[in-house]
Amino acid sequence: MNERQIIEYIAALSGQDTTAGLIRGIGDDCAVIDKDGHHVWLLTMDTLIEGVHFDGGLHPPDKLGRKAVSVNVSDIGAMGGRPLFVLLSLGMPAGFDESWFRAFAKGLADGCREYGCLLIGGDTVASPQGFTCTLTVIGEAEAQRVVYRSGARPGDTIWVSGPLGGAAAGLELLRRGIDGHDDFAAFREQHLNPTARVELGRRLAAGGLVHAMMDLSDGLATDLAHLCKQSGVGARIAAKDLPCREALATAARLTGSDWRQWVIGGGEDYELLFTADPVQGSSLLALGDCCGLRLAQVGAVVEGAGVTLVGQRSDGSSEEVAIAYQGYDHFRDKPGG
Ligand SMILES: [Mg+2]
């Protein structure tokens, strides 16, 4: 079973009973529950496991603490919400390093403050091996402004909020201990200490500028395929329009990797992926500027299904490749891969 099949199996067993105020269950960035008729609660959970999501020897604990918050609030931002409360479940081996733990806790507390949310409870357990951290984040949004993955329409333009593939490059550079380029520090930081686009997501939703939105955690090819499936549409992506830092090709060459694969399949960039009516182009660019982000239009929503990458062969002819679900899968890919 791959990750998607596991989720679909569990979703089929759990049903989607909406009588208790459930508006959206499994299948989006957050579960959505009615709060008071005008507002909704947004609930999300993410786990970081030593040896899978991070290497304890490479990841500074303060950055890991902030990352645990960032990857969770990213899902709240992806629905246009505001993160409010955090619950933490922490698993640590016996005889854990106390200074490591203190630095992790400080990163976590600083992250909560930065994104405007409050740690309100959780659980602490002994782990037989390594460190694990699960966060549940509870957020809030106006019911009419929540942006789901299912709202994309044929004719929409497709956007991302920043350069892609940087986190995958950073992880590979860290593993191999490669330094020596200014942009490499940015790649490393993108893996170690990503920033969630919560403010952008909230403003995109508040302005009614987008039809569908999610965050990029498993790579564009997989995440866009999820969005298309939920919306009952297909997508065409132009390879030449996919944004990435110039040094990505250098990083790929030095690590024996394929930078194109990082751009379409590299996980953990935590940029936002969204679709919008083509008339919103200039408004979107202006809003990106306000948030200090260079938004990039990368393709279009089409009738049908699947994700097609449109590129160019070396002889100048155009080439179309189906790329749906070619991103990171926890049960297909090697741990940490
Ligand atoms: Mg997500």
> Does the pLDDT of residue 14 top 90, yes or no?
no
* Per-residue confidence (pLDDT) for residue 159, from 0 to 100: 98
Residues 211 and 286 in one domain: yes
Residue 163 domain-assigned?
yes
Residue scoring higher pLDDT (43 or 16): 43
* β-strand pairing of 234-238 with 296-302: antiparallel
When mean pLDDT is compared across 74-88, 96-110, 295-309, 322-336, the lowest value belongs to 322-336
Residue 334 domain-assigned?
no
* Per-residue confidence (pLDDT) for residue 66, from 0 to 100: 97
Mean pLDDT across the chain: 92
> What letters, b where the CB count within 10 A reaches 16 and e where it falls short, cover 78-87?
bbbbbbbbbb
Distance 317 CA to ligand 1 centre (A): 35
Strand order in the sheet with 272-276: 212-215, 272-276, 157-160, 296-302, 234-238, 307-312, 318-322
Distance 233 CA to ligand 1 centre (A): 19
- Give me 240's structure tokens: 């030449």
What is the domain-level CATH number for residue 77?
A: 3.30.1330.10
> Does the pLDDT of residue 331 top 90, yes or no?
no
> Does the pLDDT of residue 335 top 60, yes or no?
no
Residues 263 and 312 in one domain: yes
Nearest to 111 by CA among 74, 148, 145, 139: 74
Distance 181 CA to ligand 1 centre (A): 31
When mean pLDDT is compared across 17-21, 97-101, 135-139, 313-317, the lowest value belongs to 17-21
Distance 149 CA to ligand 1 centre (A): 10
pLDDT category at 8 given cuts 50, 70, 90 is: confident
Amino acid at 101: F
Q: What is the DSSP letter of 134?
A: E
* Per-residue confidence (pLDDT) for residue 128, from 0 to 100: 87
What is the domain-level CATH number for residue 313?
A: 3.90.650.10
State percent of the chain over pLDDT 90.
76
Residues 153 and 138 in one domain: no
Residues forming beta bridges with residue 319, ordered by sequence position = 311
Residue 330 domain-assigned?
no
Within a 10 A sphere around the Cβ of 116, how many other Cβ atoms? 13
- Our count of domains for the chain comes to 2
Q: Which helix (H) or strand (E) holds 89?
A: strand 82-92
Residues 154 and 122 in one domain: no
* Per-residue confidence (pLDDT) for residue 13, from 0 to 100: 82
Residue 331 domain-assigned?
no
Residue scoring higher pLDDT (47 or 331): 47
For residue 57, give its domain range. 3-145
Distance 273 CA to ligand 1 centre (A): 10
* Per-residue confidence (pLDDT) for residue 330, from 0 to 100: 60
Q: What is the DSSP letter of 28?
A: B
3-state secondary structure of 310: strand
Distance 179 CA to ligand 1 centre (A): 30
> Does the pLDDT of residue 318 top 80, yes or no?
yes
Mean pLDDT within 264-285 = 96
Q: Of the residues 126, 145, 164, which one is the last residue of a structural domain?
A: 145
- Sign of torsion, CA 74 76 82 84? negative
Give residue 235's Cα distance to chain centre. 19
* Per-residue confidence (pLDDT) for residue 112, from 0 to 100: 97
Residues 105 and 177 in one domain: no
Phi, psi of 6 (to 5 degrees): -65, -45
3-state secondary structure of 156: coil
Mean pLDDT within 192-217 = 97
> Does the pLDDT of residue 337 top 70, yes or no?
no
* Per-residue confidence (pLDDT) for residue 19, from 0 to 100: 67
Distance 95 CA to ligand 1 centre (A): 34
Distance 78 CA to ligand 1 centre (A): 7
Residues 304 and 168 in one domain: yes
**How far apart, in whole angstroms, are the C-alpha atoms of residue 224 and residue 43?**
21
